[in-house]
Amino acid sequence: MQTLKYKYRLYPTPDQVVRLNQIVGSNRYVWNHFLSEEQSQYAINQKFRFYNTNSKDLTTLKKTTDWLNDTPSTSLQQTLRYLETALKQSFKRANARKGFPKFKKKRNFEGSFTLAMVNAKNFRDGKFLMPKIGEIKVKLHRELPSDFSTCQVKRDGDRWFVVCTVSVKKTQLPKTGKEIGIDLNSKEHVTSDGVRYKVPKYLHENQVKIASLQRVLARAVKGSKNRKKAQFKLHKVHQRVQNQRLDYFHKLSKALVTEYDLIALEDLAVAQIQRSRGKVIADNGFGMLRSMILYKSELYGKSTVIIDRYFPSSQTCSGCGSVHKMPTNIRTYVCPDCGLVMDRDLNASINILRAGTARIGGNSGNAFGDSADYEEQMVVLGILAGVNEEGSYVL
């Protein structure tokens, strides 16, 4: 069994939308109130109150704040549990950055809360039965594979969703006997068998429209209705870009997992790269594609291996294994030792596949001998050439 999240679209009435927003606001209020209490307690004796104490005080708070009683009690309790988890991760976990979680702000187009003590029986006849609100129309585009005990209600712009965490039986897709290495790039993803998948630039394609809406937003008076309209239009554009990217990478990852039994990928430092090339990396979806391939490989009985991020795949000759410096502006790999001439990205993807098969003990397509010993093959591939003080391999 594998744990997945199933997301369904809700279609609340205008009155129900008002109630849902009130519940989001109540949970935000409870988070901020008890976070302030935790900070005050910590300032006195460097200790925390945590869930048990806060839960008792929540009962007292609800007596003096009547409108909290219109919110499902389990959602407020879950908010306190999340606060406890956030505090423990910040202060109790080893090597954690010490600091309190942030106070939640009121956001016009985002918000969520978690419901406990709900299950599949809350979905019936195309309706989702929600405590304190009643039946909300829901689009069940696929059946729930198992029961659940909690779910999350989320707002995204003018749309509402309910997200259920369920257990799904793993399915074994037919074996194809194919293995592949993928070199991820900003323009296209190149596979070791020569296939190139162009990366759609959804953010770039909408950049002119986004810039225009941002100018309108900048000119609008804060707090005005025109400003809220401009914010909403801008959010809708970003929402569409996100949905397009999700759709593309879901289809691509499923196609790759269906076609190949083994997929080898590089462990890219996405966060570090994004600091210098934010918009380009956001459009590429490196992390998104990798996570989708990983969970779908596990779900469908295939294998995915992640090789070392410092492995010099672009600088290693796929013909003889020699390593040479390769400036990024040179797109054709020419090996001075064996004379190999090959596209830079195709050469890298072949090396990635070989490094991946070596890591799992296989030798499919291994041109450097029949040994399945990973360390020995990595020496040949150049990965153990040496590491400098910055953590980069010395070539």
Catalytic positions are 183, 266, 345
Residue with tokens 């003590």: 117
Burial of 13 (0-12, 13-18, 19+ CB in 10 A): exposed
Q: By C-alpha distance, which of 118, 41, 28 is closest to 79?
A: 28
Q: Which residues have CB under 8 Å from 160's CB, separation 6+?
A: 9, 10, 11, 12, 17, 20, 136, 153, 154
Residue with tokens 């995915």: 304
For residue 200, give both structure tokens.
């759609």
Note the Cα 377 to chain centre separation in Å.
32
Is 334:324 a contact under the CB 8 Å cutoff?
Answer: no
Q: How many CB atoms lie within 10 A of CB 307?
A: 23
Longest dimension (CA), the chain: 81
Buried b (16+ CB within 10 A) or exposed e, 28-49: bbbbebbbebbeeeeeeeeebb
DSSP assignment of 157-205: TTEEEEEEEEEE----PPP---EEEEE--SSEEEETTS-EEE---HHHH
